Amino acid sequence: MEYLRGLNPSQREAVEQTEGPVMIVAGAGSGKTRVITYRVAHLIKKGVDPFNILVLTFTNKAAKEMRERIMNVVGTEAKNSWMGTFHSVFAKILRVEAEKIGYPNNFTIYDTDDSKSLIRTILKEQALDDKLYNANFVYNRISSAKNNLISAAEYLNNEQIQAEDFSSGRGKLGEIYQIYTQRCFKAGAMDFDDLLFKTNVLLKDHPDVLYKYQNKFKYLMVDEYQDTNFSQYLIVKKLAAITENLCVVGDDAQSIYAFRGANIQNILNFEKDYPELKVFKLEQNYRSTQNIVQVANSIIANNKNQLKKEVYSENETGDKIKVIRAFSDNEEGKIIAEEIAQERSLKGLKYQNFAILYRTNAQSRAMEEALRKLNIPYKIYGGLSFYQRKEIKDLIAYFRLTFNPNDEEALKRVINYPRRGIGDTTVDRIIVSADKNNITLWDVICDPSKYLDGRSSTSVGSFATLIQSFQVIAKDHTAYDAALHIAQHSGLLKDLYEDKSVEGLNRYENIQELLNGIKEFSEREDIEEKGLDVFMQDVALLTNEDNDKNPNADTVSLMTIHSSKGLEFANVFVVGLEENLFPSQLSLSSRADLEEERRLFYVAITRAEKKLTLSYATSRYRWGTLTNCEPSRFIDEIDPKYLEIDFKPLQKPASSSFFDDERNAWDNRSSGDTFSKPKPASKPKITSILPKAHVPSPDFAPSDTSNLQVGMEVEHERFGFGKVLTLEGNKPDVKATVFFKEIGQKQLLLKFAKLRIVIG
């Protein structure tokens, strides 16, 4: 078994244990993909038929990478294994079995935009307040219900759910869910959540189908198991019920998707489902320096709810982790941009070696502005993907309509684009006629003279003929030939070509790029069916992670920490490490939420290979108001021996006089300033880089500050004793600038500050 020689002992044990339930706890950078790859290859080498192996991943990109690696070991036989995302694998099964649950085999897959568009249509038809029933909120509510396998009927009959909805003033949510479900069914469409929800329905209601796939998939592997939700958990459990040859791979320390329905208990309680479970721990980190790994360990050790493991690195010790303090978010961006420019120049690095990670998308603004000023090229990762651009969605809507003319969202999108004299009034009449006669919109369009009059009837009839001609072309031509024909004869290509603006040229080039991609698909030798419908199935299941990153682009990467999962960079900056930002204010009400935030910080740290920098600002604008910020508790949780604390004097923004007093106070701060850089020869060892909590006086009670005046001495529960320097603003939004003896200057909003007046 020469091919196994490159594995370390822990990896090899996990690969060779092919029978029975197995859990591989894979620490960050521990070679998880390598283990999955070699485990599948080892099964095939042992004589297991690749058709009997199912590997479930969370991105198509990951599945493609694994398949290519397996082929390098066992050859082209690896193509026969079932490997892909949960959604792509079960969409494939549903296309075979769809008729058993009342769907056509050519059902459309609605993306998030399609689903929200349909919800907005329903809200309008029901005359509901779109502020109270916000489309995003309604979509997320329906998605959450489906991920927990709650159907529309069950939702309406659940007293607790109904009570929650009515108490929030949204008592119609159940009805919206029911109408949405009916409209999707009528349109022959499933949304992303349906692909798993309907699979569960299929396996539950049709034991013969369940038995068929239980016997087909004799060996199951699930990557990133900590990110599975209840719906995914149940599918896997059912499929593995006969053989129990189930191997799950994951890291509870990187479970960061609870907001999407992921349930960390799936991995924490895996042994309860399978008492005969064998557990293997991959604890050697091949990615990061020893210092980075130790910092990650010291952070995650604060979580109580976890699977214990001892991650270590045999790489170089590496630099200490630098901590940057800035006066504002703009200064934070400036410092980091300068650090990137300097580091790149001194070490001859490329821009693609750097990544800036943040908790929320809004934080990118200050970073972008700073990078632009230094002419540093960057790309925001996780932004609008290629397949979400309007012109791409327009052409794909024509493709969708060609294969499923009942697709209501695709039809409404292109029926009058390019313009063909079918206005909103005509579309409304089509919708009313369809509802009144309990038929589809396509039924009305195919017989317009029966439901419409005069000129509109002619225009609609011509559109129906056009789509029918596309259906004929698509049957007998390759994906590329059919796509080009549709792009040309729909008028879309001509419309974009005639727009000579910069935006118009970009849109035209994007359509050309889509057609190039379809041409490449048509010429692939590794697939037999090359129709446009097959291409469409792949496109519908692409995720942002599959589209966004060009590994050859020499740009600094900017992204949220959630988007960074699975990536790695030589130099990583984690910015905005402030209380109420990271950890998020929304996470502070429960231990479970706070522990998820800490896992998110762990993920951010472990993206770094060589150098890690943490930063925070002491002030930041939020909703138009300048807010004073405290350093994140997460910084204080790091063992100080791994940190480089090198704080520069805080700088006043050049364009503002608002901060004059604050800048002066910082420049004249006391020698006991917690943030001052320690001098090794004369100062004691740092035990914390955060201000220590002040212990209030025994008689502490907040005073009435309505008559507070400059010069008064006050006490704050956390900041201690201080003196009022300035008062600004009108009641009730008066702001006080106070110089505290222990930590320096703070600006406080009096209505929230809870100050005790000590000396008037």
| d(C-alpha 431, C-alpha 308), whole Å | 58
Q: Residue 58 has what pLDDT?
A: 83
How far from the centroid of its chain's Cα atoms is residue 40's Cα? Answer: 28
Given the residues 198, 607, 633, 669, the one annotated as active site: 607
Q: Residue 513 has what pLDDT?
A: 83
pLDDT (average), residues 94-112: 93
Q: Residue 671 has what pLDDT?
A: 34
Q: State percent of the chain over pLDDT 90.
A: 58
Q: Residue 463 has what pLDDT?
A: 95
280: enclosing H helix or E strand: strand 278-282
Per residue in 273-332, pLDDT tens?
A: 999 999 999 999 999 999 999 999 999 999 998 888 899 999 999 999 999 999 888 899
pLDDT (average), residues 77-102: 92
Q: Residue 648 has what pLDDT?
A: 59
Q: Which of 89-93, 353-357, 647-651 has the lowest mean pLDDT?
A: 647-651
Given the residues 193, 223, 408, 609, the one annotated as active site: 223
Q: Residue 65 has what pLDDT?
A: 85
Per residue in 151-193, pLDDT tens?
A: 999 999 999 999 999 998 999 999 999 999 999 999 999 999 9
Note if 181 is an active site residue: no
Per residue in 514-530, pLDDT tens?
A: 888 888 788 877 677 78
Which pair of structure tokens corresponds to residue 569?
Answer: 């960079």
Per-residue pLDDT at 665 exceeds 70 = no
Q: Which band of pLDDT confidence, cut at 50, 70 and 90, is reported for residue 107?
A: very high
List CB contacts of 152: < 8 A, sequence separation 6 or more.
145, 174, 177, 178, 180, 181
Note if 254 is an active site residue: yes
Per residue in 26-72, pLDDT tens?
A: 999 999 889 999 999 999 999 999 999 999 998 888 888 888 888 88
Q: Which band of pLDDT confidence, cut at 50, 70 and 90, is reported for residue 560?
A: very high
Q: Which residue has the higher pLDDT, 134 or 470?
A: 470
Per residue in 610-654, pLDDT tens?
A: 999 999 999 887 655 678 899 999 999 998 899 988 665 555 444
Note if 223 is an active site residue: yes
| d(C-alpha 518, C-alpha 521), whole Å | 5
DSSP class of residue 701 equals: -
Q: Residue 622 has what pLDDT?
A: 66
Q: Residue 611 has what pLDDT?
A: 96
| d(C-alpha 292, C-alpha 14), whole Å | 26
Given the residues 254, 289, 306, 478, the one annotated as active site: 254
Q: Residue 694 has what pLDDT?
A: 60
Q: Residue 725 has what pLDDT?
A: 86
Given the residues 32, 146, 663, 756, the one annotated as active site: 32
Given the residues 224, 332, 545, 715, the one annotated as active site: 224
Per-residue pLDDT at 385 exceeds 70 = no
Q: Which band of pLDDT confidence, cut at 50, 70 and 90, is reported for residue 543?
A: low
Note if 363 is an active site residue: no
Contact 216, 222 (CB under 8 A): no
Q: Residue 669 has what pLDDT?
A: 33
Cα Rg of the chain, angstroms: 30
pLDDT (average), residues 530-548: 73
| d(C-alpha 518, C-alpha 508), whole Å | 16
